[in-house]
Amino acid sequence: MDWMKRLFSSSEFIPHGFCYTWDPYVIWLNAASDALIALAYYTIPLTLVYFVRRRRDLAFHWIFLGFALFIVACGTTHVIELWSIWYPMYWLAGVIKAITAAVSVATAAALIPLVPQALALPSPETLRRANLALQEAQQALRKTNEELECRVAERTTSLAATNAALLAEIEEHKRADERLRESELQLRTAIVKSPIPAIIYGEDGAIRFLSQGWTDYSGYTLEDIPTVREWGEKSDLAKACIEEPFSISETDCNGEQVIRAKDGRQRVWYVYTTPLGKDRSGIRLFLSQAVDLTERKKAETASRQVTIGQLAGGVAHDFNNLLSVIIGHIELLEMSLPLDEKAWESVTEIARAAERAAALTRQLLAFSRQQVLEPQVLDLNVVVAAAEKMLRRLIGENVQLTTSLETNLSPVRADPGQIDQVLLNLAVNARDAMPKGGTLSFEIRNIELNPANHTAHPKLRVGHYVLLTVSDNGSGIKPEIQGRIFEPFFTTKQIGQGTGLGLSVVHGIVEQCGGHVEVHSVPRLGTTFKIYLPKAEEPTAMASKSVPFKPPHGRGETVLLVEDEAPVRAVTFLLLESLGYRVLEAANAEEALLLVQSGQKKVDLLLTDVIMPGKSGVELADALRSRDPGLKVLFQSGYTRDVVLRDGVVKAETAFLKKPFSLDALAKKLQEVLAPS
C-alpha cells in the first residue's frame, strides 16, 4: 500500500507554481491551456465512440476506439499537469504518461498496417464521381421503374379490358348456348309435334326421330322403323335412295313416294330431303319432310275422269246417233235383200262392225258414268254361271277357269249387261297377264261390314254386301302403277293391244251401281280384284227364257217422231213405217206442236229425243199431255244427262229406248207403251 500512498503523495516535491514563480499570469495561462486541451481531448473520444456506434459497418472501427483511448490518456496528462501546478503528484503524472505512452505506441503499431487500407479508400472526388454515377444510375433506375410501372399499368389496364371482354364474351356464349338450346328445343318440339310428316336420319341409316305427323299419317313409330332400311321396305322411292347409301345430294330423294301405311292403305307423299350437316361424331344428318298428296291426287284423278268422261260421253252421244243411222239402214237392208243375195255377207259384216262400235260406245259411256242403266234385281250366281261358257271361249284353253258360288246369295241391283261387261273386262285382263296359262277364279259370297272391320274399307258404308272376287296367278301389277290402273286410257300393253279403258270401265260401272272396287297385287304372284255390291232389299226377278220371235207390228197407230238429227230421224221414220205405223215427223218441239195443233191426225204415241235445240223432249211431252192426257210417250237417248233420268237410271214411270237401238228393240218397246194400261 506504500506505493499507492507515494503515487498520490505530493509532500516530496514542489508544485509547478514554484517553477512559474507563482506568477499568476503564467499560472493561469498554463492552467487555462491545460484545461481546454483536456476538455478537447475528452470531447474527441466521445465523438469517436458515437461515430463508431453509428457506423458499425466500418471494417476497422476498433482503431477508432483505440485512438479514442489514446486521446483520453493524453487529455488526462493535461489534467494532471493542471493539478500539479498546485499539487505536485508527479508519481501519478508519470504513471499516466506511461499509460499514455503505451496506448500511443499500441495505437501507432496498429495504425501502420492500416495505412494501405486507408490509402485504398476512395478520394472525395472518386466518391463524388461514384456518387454522381450512383445518382445517375438511381435516376435511370427510377426512370426504368417508372416506365415499368407505366407498362405494368398499361398492361394491367389492357388485361382488365381483355378480361372484361372475355367475361362479356363468355356471358354472350352462355346466352348464345342458352338461346341455341332453347332454339333446338323449340325446333325439336316443332318438328316432333308438327302435323307435317318429318324424319331425321343419319348416313349410318339410323333414324334419330319421327315427327308425330309421320306417325299419324303412316301409322309407324320409331320402334317399327328404327332405320331407313326398314322404311325402304315401306316406300319405293326411299328404297331407291338407300341403294347407294348416302351419296345423296340435296335433291336426290325429292319426289313422290307411294307409302304403304301400317293399316295397309296406300298414301302418296311428296318428300323433301335436306342435309343438316354432321353430328358430333361426324355422321351426316338429313331431314326429310313430306306433304300428303293422297286426297289431292284423288281429287285430280276424279277431276280428270270427269273431264275425260264428259269428252267421252259427248263423243259417244254423237257416235250413237251415227250408229243409229247405220244400224237402222242395216236392218232395212236385211229386210229387203233376198237370202241368196251376195251382198248379204257384206251387210252381215257391217252389222257386226256396227255392233262392235256400239259396244265401244257403251264402254265409253260406262267409263264416264253416262251410260243409261236399266237396273234389275239380280242373282250374281246366275249371271256368272250364264257368262261362264262365253268366258271360257274368251280366255282360251291354257287358262283354267274356276267358280265358287255361295248358296243363299243375297240379291244385288244392277244392269245385267254392265255386270257382263265387268266380267268380260276382268277376264280379258287376267288372260293377258297369263300368256303361258294359269288359273282364273271367280268367287261370290255374302259379306257384312260392321264397325269392327269397316276401317279396312273406308269408302264403303256399314252394311250387307255381295263380294265378287276375281283372282289370277299372272304377272301381277307393279306397286308404282297400282294407283293408276283405273285411270282412263292408262295401259301397260303395247300400242294396238289395248285401249286403256277396260279397268276404268269396271271402276265406272261398279261405282255407278253404288259399289266399290279394291285391287291387291304382287308382282309375279298374281292379282285379285274385289268388287263390293250392296245387297238389294227386293227379291230377285225371275228371268224369262228368250225365244225367237218376229218383231211385233203396229195396227196403224200414229206415231209423232221428233228428232233434231236428220239422218237419225230419216232412218227411224223408215223403221216405223216398216213396222206398220203411220208417222208424223218434226225436227224440233216447235214443229211438233204446230203439227198437233193443225189437227191433221190424232197422235197415239210421241217418240221424241230428249235433248234438242229449243224445248226439250220432256217439255214437249208435258205440253202435248196438257192437251191430251192419254197420250203415250216414248223417249229415246243415249246420254244420261237427259232430264228423264235420275243419276243415270231410268225412272220407273218413264218409257225409254236407248240409242242405238235395233228394229226388234224398237218394235218391242212400242208394243209395251201402246199396250192398254
**Model confidence over 407-442: pLDDT tens digits?**
889 999 888 878 888 888 889 888 988 988 899 999
Q: What is the pLDDT of residues 26-79, one digit of tens each?
A: 888 888 888 888 888 888 888 878 877 887 776 666 777 777 787 888 888 888
What is the Cα–Cα distance from 470 to 430, expressed in whole angstroms? Answer: 9
What pLDDT does 59 receive?
Answer: 65
C-alpha cell at 186: 323449340
Q: What is the pLDDT of residues 435-485, one digit of tens each?
A: 888 999 999 999 988 877 766 777 788 889 999 999 999 988 888 777 777
- Residue 653 has phi, psi (to 5 degrees) of -90, 5
Q: Could you tell me what percent of the chain has a pLDDT over 90?
A: 11
Q: In this structure, what is the dihedral angle of CA atoms 300, 303, 304, 310, given to the nearest 10 degrees?
A: 180
Confidence of residue 643 (pLDDT cuts 50, 70, 90): very low
3-state secondary structure of 239: helix
Number of other CB atoms surrounding residue 140 within 10 Å: 10
Nearest to 275 by CA among 195, 186, 200, 196: 200
**481, 521 in Cβ contact below 8 A?**
no
Q: Could you tell me what percent of the chain has a pLDDT over 70?
A: 76
- Give the residue-averaged pLDDT of 94-101: 78
Q: What is the pLDDT of residues 236-262, one digit of tens each?
A: 444 444 444 444 444 456 777 777 677
- Residue 467 has phi, psi (to 5 degrees) of -105, 120
CATH architecture for residues 380-534: 2-Layer Sandwich (3.30)
Cis previous bond, 660, omega within 30? yes
Q: What DSSP string runs through 74-99? A: HHHHHHHHHHHTTS--HHHHHHHHHH
Confidence of residue 493 (pLDDT cuts 50, 70, 90): low
What is the Cα–Cα distance from 380 to 532, expressed in whole angstroms? Answer: 12
The topology under which CATH files domain 558-674 is: Rossmann fold (3.40.50)
Domain ranges of the chain: 2-120, 194-292, 380-534, 558-674
Dihedral sign from CA coordinates of 498, 528, 531, 417 = positive
What pLDDT does 230 receive?
Answer: 58
Q: In this structure, what is the dihedral angle of CA atoms 8, 11, 16, 21, given to the nearest 10 degrees?
A: 160
454 DSSP assignment: G
What pLDDT does 657 receive?
Answer: 84
- Give the residue-averaged pLDDT of 339-365: 68
Nearest to 52 by CA among 37, 69, 74: 69
The topology under which CATH files domain 194-292 is: Beta-Lactamase (3.30.450)
What pLDDT does 528 receive?
Answer: 93
Q: In this structure, what is the dihedral angle of CA atoms 490, 493, 494, 499, given to the nearest 10 degrees?
A: -50
Please state which of the ranges 33-47, 163-177, 218-232, 535-549 shows the lowest mean pLDDT. 535-549
Number of other CB atoms surrounding residue 96 within 10 Å: 19
Number of other CB atoms surrounding residue 323 within 10 Å: 22
Q: In what order do the strands lie in the sheet with 399-405?
A: 399-405, 438-449, 463-472, 526-534, 516-522
Same topology, domains 380-534 and 558-674? Answer is no
Confidence of residue 277 (pLDDT cuts 50, 70, 90): confident
Nearest to 428 by CA among 391, 402, 454: 391
What is the Cα–Cα distance from 32 to 24, expressed in whole angstroms? Answer: 12
**Helices 343-367 and 294-336 sit at what angle, rounded to 10 degrees?**
160
What pLDDT does 633 receive?
Answer: 92
What pLDDT does 340 receive?
Answer: 61
What is the Cα–Cα distance from 546 to 408, expressed in whole angstroms? Answer: 25
